[in-house]
């Protein structure tokens, strides 16, 4: 699967996804640092990449309907320190192979995963 890791996440998130066999690039590496959300979403559509982010704006299905985008993984965590974020992402990586992610919104919390389908 193809992922884009937002600038609000450690670059090690892309490394974790790559190590799991996915194609992952970062916003920073692509020179998109500081771009607004609509621009980031547009680039994800053009590249067919699922956005991994801490930005809760992407969980608004009225603004970003899952069926119109490759997918979103929004990490909604209580702590945003690097170690904690990497642990949460590491826990969901096995689910990527088992649960549909394309054209869906995944809201990932420490102890649960909520998935909004492509029909939204």
- E-strand ranges in 1-120 read 2-5, 23-26, 50-53, 72-75, 105-108, 113-116
Residue 119 has pLDDT above 80, yes or no: no
- Chain-wide mean pLDDT for the chain? 95
Contact indicator for 71, 51 with CB cutoff of 8 Å: yes
Mean pLDDT of 84-97: 95
Fold of 2-116: Rossmann fold (3.40.50)
Beta carbons of 42 and 58 less than 8 angstroms apart: no
**pTM for the full model?**
0.94
Contacts of 118 (CB under 8 A, 6+ apart): 66, 67, 100, 102, 103, 104
Return the domain boundaries, the chain. 2-116
**In terms of DSSP bridges, do strands 23-26 and 2-5 run parallel, antiparallel, or are they unpaired?**
parallel
Cβ atoms of 82 and 10 closer than 8 Å: yes
**Tens digits of residue pLDDT in 37-84:** 999 999 999 999 999 999 999 999 999 999 999 999 999 999 999 999
Distance CA 5, CA 17 (A): 9
């Amino acid at each position: 699967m193809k992922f884009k890791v937002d600038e609000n996440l450690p670059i090690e998130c892309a490394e974790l996804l790559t190590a799991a066999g996915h194609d992952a690039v970062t916003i920073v590496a692509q020179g998109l640092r500081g771009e607004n959300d609509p621009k980031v979403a547009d680039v994800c559509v053009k590249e067919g990449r699922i956005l991994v982010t801490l930005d809760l704006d992407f969980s608004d299905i009225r603004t970003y309907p899952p069926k119109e985008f490759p997918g979103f993984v929004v990490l909604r965590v209580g702590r945003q320190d690097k170690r904690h974020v990497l642990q949460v992402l590491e826990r969901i990586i096995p689910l990527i192979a088992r649960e549909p992610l394309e054209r869906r919104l995944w809201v990932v919390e420490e102890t649960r995963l909520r998935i909004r389908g492509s029909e939204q």
